[in-house]
Amino acid sequence: MRDDARVDAMRETRGTLQRQGRFLTFEGGEGAGKSTQISRLKERLNAAGIEAVVTREPGGSPTAETIRELLLSGKVKPLGAEIEAVMFAAARADHVDETIRPALNAGRWVLCDRFADSTRVYQGEAGVDPAFLDRLEAVAVGGYRPDMTILIDVSPEVGLSRVAARSSSDGTPADPDRFETDTKEVHMRRRQLFLDLAAAEPARFVVVDGSAAADKVADDIWQAVCARFPLDLGHAGPAAPDPARDRIGG
Ligand code: T5A
């Protein structure tokens, strides 16, 4: 769907239907624990009677999964960071059209492993012009911005050591993907850029300390989600925390 058509579709949908679903994204560096925590949150939402769709980026729809293979194999890297940004955006546009928008419009919650913030951080860190990234994001997202973004913050040492341990223990291919092979300095700059995004949008972001045990991280995320959406989850409160002030779990 073209840019204008996507925005029109979004306006039309919002004008005629009360959108019930919530759009939650999870962000953070490699091995932060996003997939682990999405699975935990889905279980808790299901137990609370909420249907949740789990999806990921790059990917989340057949066409986007094809683009994912190209991006993570490193085959696109020689074309430069701008072209990689274009391809992440192309995958995102299809993902929104085919998976995210239909789920939200059907009243389901969407739990998405990475979204547009990852482009801002990874391709932004690689030097792509922020104005160009803004335009790509507008085209790809078409108004479907997250209601809440959970940034799972861990040091690169912790995250990459988890990825390495997983590879050696569960048969996951030991070869790191195109982005895992970047230097420690690059991983550290990405971590800071995620924290900067969170500080700039405290109403959307919650920052969770991902270095704790997975059960503790899951509890912290659940507390944050209940605080942010008390009515959806049948809670009268408590009031939503101010993520700019209160770093959860830290
Ligand atoms: N990218 C992506 C861009 O450059 N631009 C973009 O726009 C987008 C969307 C995607 C790559 O593409 C880049 C970013 C990425 O480099 P991917 O394979 O999807 O690649 O990579 P990740 O999203 O980073 O996925 P990972 O699986 O590596 O990390 P997760 O999901 O954060 O971590 P998870 O849950 O799989 O856990 C990793 C290991 O740690 C353990 C788990 O059991 C697992 O073994 N673990 C813990 N261990 C101890 N304590 C805890 N609290 C733990 N939590 C999890």
Which residue type occupies 104? L
Look up residue 60 and give its two tokens: 């989340």
Instruction: Report pLDDT for 71.
Output: 97
For ligand 1, atom 39, name the residue with the nearest CA.
Answer: 162
Which residue owns the Cα nearest ligand 1 atom 36?
35
Q: What is the pLDDT of residue 236?
A: 43
The predicted model scores a pTM of: 0.89
Q: What is the pLDDT of residue 246?
A: 41
- Residues in the chain, pLDDT under 70: 1-19, 170-174, 235-250
Ligand 1 site, residue 159, Cβ cutoff 6 A: no
User: Is the minimum distance from the CB of 69 to ligand 1 under 6 angstroms?
Assistant: no
177 Cβ below 6 A of ligand 1 = yes
Ligand 1 near 167 CB (within 6 A): no
Tens-place pLDDT, residues 177-199: 777 788 999 999 999 999 999 99
Distance 81 CA to ligand 1 centre (A): 21
Cβ neighbour number for residue 4 with a 10 Å cutoff: 10
Domains of the chain: 20-248 (3.40.50.300)
Region of 87 (left: φ > 0; alpha: ψ -120 to 50; beta: rest) is alpha
Q: Count CB neighbours of 130 within 10 A.
A: 10
Q: In the chain, helix, strand, coil percent, each to 5?
A: 55, 10, 35
Predicted pLDDT of residue 109: 98
Nearest 5°: CA angle at 15, between 10 and 16?
Answer: 105
Closest CA relative to residue 206, chosen from 227, 191, 192: 227
The type of residue at 130 is: P
Ligand 1 centre from 7 Cα, in Å?
31
pLDDT, tens only, 123-137 = 999 999 999 999 999
Instruction: Give, in order, the Cα–Cα distances in Å from 209 to each of 25, 165, 216, 244.
Output: 16, 20, 9, 14
Whole-angstrom distance, CA of residue 26 vs CA of residue 152: 7
Q: Is 57 in the pocket of ligand 1 (CB under 6 A)?
A: yes
Query: What is the per-residue pLDDT for 110?
Result: 98
Question: Which pLDDT score is estimated for 234?
Answer: 76
Pick the atom of ligand 1 nearest to 152's CA. Answer: 32
Residue 38 near residue 26 (C-beta atoms within 8 A): yes
